[in-house]
C-alpha cells in the first residue's frame, strides 16, 4: 500500500474518531446547558409569582380585608394575585404556564389535575422536600416543570379555610361552602407549578450543534488536506 494511502487511511480514521468524540461531548453539553437555561427561566417565573404573593400579603390584603363583611375581593388572595400576574405575562409568552394547584381549592380553576395531584402528594409524603424539577409531555411538546409546595404557614389563612361556618359570608356567597375548607396549620395543600417548553431550547441547541459539527468536519478535512500537501512535498518516492 502506498504511503499516501496509508497516511489518508490512518489520519482519516483518527480525525473521524476525534470529530465523533467532540460531537458527542458537545451535543451533551449544549443540551444540558439548554435544559439549565429552561430551569433558570422557570425559576424566574416562580420568583415572580412568589414576589406577587408576598406583595399582596404585605401591601394589598391589609387594606382590603376591611371590606370582607360587604364584599369578598379575590385580589386579596395571594394565590389569585400570583395567578393573574402570570396570566398577564402569558399574553407575551403564551408557552409558559403557572398554576397554584390545590387538592381542595376554593376557586375551581386551582383544582389539581392527575399529574399535579401526584406532585402535591410527593410533597405531602416528604414535607422536607422544597422543590421538584421534572419533564412531561405537554401536547405534542416536551415541557419542563418546576414545583414548590404550598404550605399553610400563616394562621390567618385558616380564617377563611378551616370551616365554612367561620369563613366570611361574602366568600361563601361567591364560592359556596363545598370546597376549600378543612385546611390545617402547617399542612401542604397544594403546589406552585411552573411549566416551560423544552422545544425552543432544544432547537437552539441543535442549531448550535450543527454549526459546531460543521466546523469540526471542516477542520478535519483541512488537516487531512494539509497533511497530504506536506506529504507531497517530500517527493514522489515518499508517497509510494
| Residue 11 covered by a domain | no
| Residue whose C-alpha is closest to residue 98's, from 56, 89, 129, 106 | 89
Q: Does any domain span residue 124?
A: yes
Query: Is the residue at 150 inside a domain?
Result: yes
- What is the side-by-side order of every strand in the sheet holding 97-102? 97-102, 188-197, 141-151, 132-138
Question: How many domains does the structure of the chain reveal?
Answer: 1
The answer to the question of residue 226 being in a domain is no
10-residue mean pLDDT series, the chain (240 residues): 78 92 96 94 95 95 88 93 94 93 96 97 97 90 95 92 94 95 97 94 93 95 88 61
How many Cα atoms within 13 Å fall on the side-chain side of residue 193?
A: 24
Q: How far apart are CA 111 and CA 90, in angstroms?
A: 20
Q: Please report whether residue 227 resides in a domain.
A: no
Q: Is residue 212 part of a domain?
A: no
Is 125 part of a structural domain of the chain?
yes
Whether 171 is in a domain gets the answer yes
With CA atoms as reference, report the closest residue to 190 among 236, 153, 156, 152. 152
Domain with 126 in it:
28-202
pLDDT for the residue numbered 95: 87
Amino acid at each position: 500500500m502506498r504511503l499516501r494511502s496509508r497516511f489518508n487511511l490512518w489520519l482519516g480514521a483518527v480525525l473521524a474518531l476525534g470529530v465523533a468524540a467532540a460531537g458527542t461531548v458537545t451535543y451533551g453539553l449544549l443540551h444540558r446547558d439548554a435544559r439549565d437555561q429552561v430551569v433558570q427561566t422557570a425559576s424566574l417565573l416562580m420568583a415572580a409569582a412568589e414576589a406577587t404573593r408576598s406583595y399582596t400579603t404585605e401591601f394589598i390584603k391589609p387594606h382590603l380585608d376591611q371590606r370582607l363583611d360587604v364584599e369578598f375581593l379575590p385580589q386579596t388572595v395571594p394565590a389569585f394575585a400570583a395567578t393573574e400576574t402570570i396570566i398577564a405575562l402569558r399574553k407575551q409568552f403564551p408557552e409558559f404556564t403557572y398554576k397554584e394547584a390545590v387538592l381542595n381549592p376554593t376557586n375551581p380553576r386551582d383544582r389539581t389535575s392527575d399529574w399535579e395531584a401526584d406532585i402535591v402528594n410527593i410533597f405531602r409524603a416528604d414535607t422536607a422536600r422544597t422543590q421538584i424539577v421534572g419533564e412531561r409531555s405537554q401536547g405534542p411538546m416536551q415541557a419542563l416543570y418546576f414545583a414548590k409546595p404550598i404550605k399553610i404557614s400563616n394562621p390567618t389563612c385558616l380564617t377563611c379555610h378551616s370551616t365554612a361556618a367561620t369563613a366570611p359570608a361574602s366568600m361563601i356567597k361567591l364560592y359556596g361552602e363545598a370546597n376549600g375548607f378543612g385546611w390545617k396549620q402547617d399542612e401542604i395543600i397544594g403546589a406552585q407549578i411552573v411549566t416551560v417548553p423544552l422545544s425552543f431550547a432544544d432547537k437552539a441547541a441543535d442549531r448550535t450543534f450543527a454549526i459546531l459539527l460543521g466546523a469540526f468536519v471542516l477542520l478535519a478535512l483541512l488537516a487531512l488536506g494539509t497533511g497530504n500537501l506536506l506529504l507531497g512535498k517530500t517527493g514522489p518516492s515518499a508517497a509510494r
